[in-house]
Amino acid sequence: MIAVVDALPLVSDAERAQLLSAPRSAEAHRELMAQVPAMRMVQTGGSAHPGPLPATLSVVAWNVERCLFPEASAEHLRPLAPDVVLLSEVDHGMARSKQRHTTAAMAEALDMTYAFGVEFHELDLGGPTERAFCEDDFNACGWHGNAILSKVPFERVTLIRLDDHGHWYSAEVGADPEQPRLGGRMALAAVLATQEGPVCVVSTHLESNADGAHRAGQMQILLDGIDGFAPGIPVLIGGDLNTGNHVPPDFDWRGEPLFDLARQRGYSWDFTADGMTTRPSLITPHPGRVMKLDWFAGRGFAPLDRKVIASVAADGTPLSDHDAVWCQLRRDS
């Protein structure tokens, strides 16, 4: 059962010590996940306008790569006048992002309400380029996850976990020992009121350190979870699906089985503009990594417009290693 809360309970020092000393196995990871209540919670906050949303919706999906610059990122989206923003890789109480609740900061800057769910509890400060941004040697909360921002209140919201075996914790699946994390890939789903009836929006992030078959399995879990949460209403999924991010990477997204899997369930990929969606950033300065990772999939909607939004601020600062994707849509008639 997923609880909706105003604040996430922190991991204590004793619990963190247990997380660090436990066997790096899938079995141990599942037991530890059950002991951390925040893994079964969605935090909500911010401000909402009276509903409903208009019939024609403006929606952004953006992997903000820890969200080092919440206010600048919000300002970057303002010209799009988004009704909904689907975020991934947002920090909450991490040293690398100045211990800020980056989702709450973006929501405040855009005058929106938010829902935040934990993908990972980070047990360290991150990789070498991330440590360069740390002024503290500890994380105040250690949360990292996905979020949904909305102009109107959520009618319902839930968290859908896509794995529990500890892909970034367990040595059995080759987890990186330098970036230990409790948790796994997940999605947030919310029902919102529009002038033409309720719709479901979903922010998700699929596994990067895996192959297409693994991501297709995560997509299957996600689609089943959405059908259980919001049956019979239009759905828009947006996020970083890590398509083509194979091991070893070949950056070719076209053979990913998740595309046909979603089509078989009635989803269209026509909400996503052509073009690659990655770029070098302050954390990921790799100009050779040019990929198409970020997508929308919709069911029960008609796409009206779409584009890729370069994630470079007016002063030239790269805000993320991902460009944002934007679409305008309305319910199918």
Question: What is the set of domains in the chain, with CATH numbers?
Answer: 3-331 (3.60.10.10)
Cβ distance 153 to 189 under 8 Å? no
Q: In this predicted structure, what is the pLDDT of residue 298?
A: 98
Upstream peptide bond of 52 is cis (omega within 30 degrees of 0) = yes
Q: In this predicted structure, what is the pLDDT of residue 178?
A: 67
Cβ distance 130 to 89 under 8 Å? no
pLDDT tens, N- to C-terminus, the chain (333 residues): 999 999 999 999 999 999 999 999 999 999 999 999 999 999 999 999 998 999 999 999 999 999 999 999 999 999 999 999 999 999 999 999 999 999 999 999 999 999 999 999 999 998 899 999 999 999 999 999 999 999 999 999 999 999 999 999 987 776 776 678 999 999 999 999 999 999 999 999 999 999 999 999 999 999 999 999 999 999 999 999 999 987 777 889 999 999 999 999 999 999 999 999 999 999 999 888 899 999 999 999 999 999 999 999 999 999 999 999 999 999 997
- Helix H segments across 195-331? 212-229, 258-264
Q: In this predicted structure, what is the pLDDT of residue 127?
A: 87
Q: In this predicted structure, what is the pLDDT of residue 333?
A: 76
Q: Which of 55, 53, 56 is nearest to 305 (CA)?
A: 56
Q: What is the CA radius of gyration of the chain?
A: 18
Task: Calculate the alpha carbon distances from 298 to 35, 158, 215 in Å.
Answer: 35, 19, 18
